[in-house]
Structure 1
């Protein structure tokens, strides 16, 4: 009688060993992924202008000296304006050829000066004043890091709340009695204004060298915080 029962024992053990796997599969049942987002418009509070000096000369040494003197003069003037951050950008030179590229007849050099400030009026006027020696390559507006972080912190709670509301809606739609949060990831993003808006302002200043700086509309960007996660719906 005992010999007949022995073969059944491995089957029972195998069935018991499979219970954790079945429980694990069951715990993943009715898991769904959800996405929620909160966003708001935040006004730009930072202005960045890139100006450049460009010239051509047969003597590369003299050319480099002329460009350096022009930049140094602009930097000195810019540093006298309170609240303006000054830095040098890209600088490069290249040969100018004639005779179908067989002979170098001159050298051309270009160097950038980058200005940044939260005082739009002061930076706009400074840029206009420097147009006697420099030209404008680019003007753009942005949200300062501290302002963006403050806005994202305020949106984070809204995004989490929106995710919870969507989770409850999904639970009711499935006929569940509740849900458990399995995972939740939070992320942020910003939308940059169209490039043509920046170029238009740069051209306006560039064509009116020596004239008073025009009024500036800095605009705004939409800052968003997203919540992506997985919930497990509990069925009654």
Structure 2
């Protein structure tokens, strides 16, 4: 019986020793480790133009109203399809009742439908927009960074962020009197890629009433950045 107790004690001690190994390893993992951050940025052109047009009308007969809106939108789509390099998307379409002054009886219906047009050819889309404003109204004119431009920008920033992080890592290593360093982990985050930047369309609408001119537009740029956050271990 006593032999069993002694054996159990030895096994218990061995298990306790093994259980302590991860803790020791964790302590060693963080030895001579420091956290660093590097950030780089660049100006990126908003090279995607987005225009949202709409038609809106009302009628006491909801069927006639729907037919009117559909006819107007079909003509607009046919006109827009004639222009190359313009992507078309039909936006929301809503119909709702109009009530009398007492808000008890429906006196008519109002319906609104949207057409969204996107292009990197600002001149072509501006001209088309001016022509279409004779039948439609403008909801907004937006500018964004195209997906292909964003990817190219992120790839370039990634290389710059890695170089900047390595430079800071070497600077920190030299300051601590280390012989070298190794990267324990490294994470990247991007900031500043905008949602479409809205421009009001009322002035453009008024100018297009008579001669449908091509308005000058300037999309501008956005400052985007990428940060590299990581941990290095300095070799003594």
Shorter-chain TM range is 0.7 to 0.9
Q: Which residue of 2 aligns with 1:190?
A: 192
Q: Which residue of 1 aligns with 2:234?
A: 233
**CA distance, structure 1, for counterparts of residue 58 and residue 27 of structure 2:** 73
Q: Which residue of 1 aligns with 2:203?
A: 204
CA contact (8 A) 1:52 1:136 kept: yes
Query: Any stretches of 5+ residues in structure 2 without a counterpart?
Result: 1-5
CA contact (8 A) 1:205 1:213 kept: no
| TM-score normalized with structure 1 length | 0.85
CA contact (8 A) 1:38 1:224 kept: yes
Q: How many residues align?
A: 226
**CA distance, structure 1, for counterparts of residue 50 and residue 204 of structure 2:** 14
Deviation at 1:37, TM superposition (A): 1.8
**CA distance, structure 1, for counterparts of residue 105 and residue 146 of structure 2:** 49
Q: Which residue of 2 aligns with 1:222?
A: 223
**CA distance, structure 1, for counterparts of residue 50 and residue 22 of structure 2:** 60
Deviation at 1:176, TM superposition (A): 3.2
Aligned pair partner of 1:57 in 36, 59, 63: 59
| Larger mean Cα displacement after TM superposition, 99-108 or 223-232 | 223-232
Deviation at 1:166, TM superposition (A): 1.5
Q: Is residue 74 of structure 1 aligned with residue 73 of structure 2?
A: no
Deviation at 1:27, TM superposition (A): 2.4
State the secondary structure of the residue aligned to 2:102: coil
Q: Which residue of 2 aligns with 1:129?
A: 131
**CA distance, structure 2, for counterparts of residue 15 and residue 72 of structure 1:** 78
**CA distance, structure 2, for counterparts of residue 169 and residue 54 of structure 1:** 63
Question: 1:18-65: per-residue Cα shift (whole Å, max 9, x none)?
Answer: 466424312212322222122211212211100000111111111111
CA contact (8 A) 1:167 1:231 kept: yes
For the aligned residues, what is the CA RMSD? 2.5
Deviation at 1:142, TM superposition (A): 1.5
CA contact (8 A) 1:53 1:110 kept: yes
**CA distance, structure 2, for counterparts of residue 89 and residue 145 of structure 1:** 20
CA contact (8 A) 2:143 2:196 kept: no
Superposed, which structure 2 residues align to 1:131-210 within 5 Å?
A: 131-192=133-194, 195=197, 198-200=198-200, 202-210=201-209
State the secondary structure of the residue aligned to 2:126: helix
| TM-score normalized with structure 2 length | 0.85
| Larger mean Cα displacement after TM superposition, 132-141 or 165-174 | 165-174
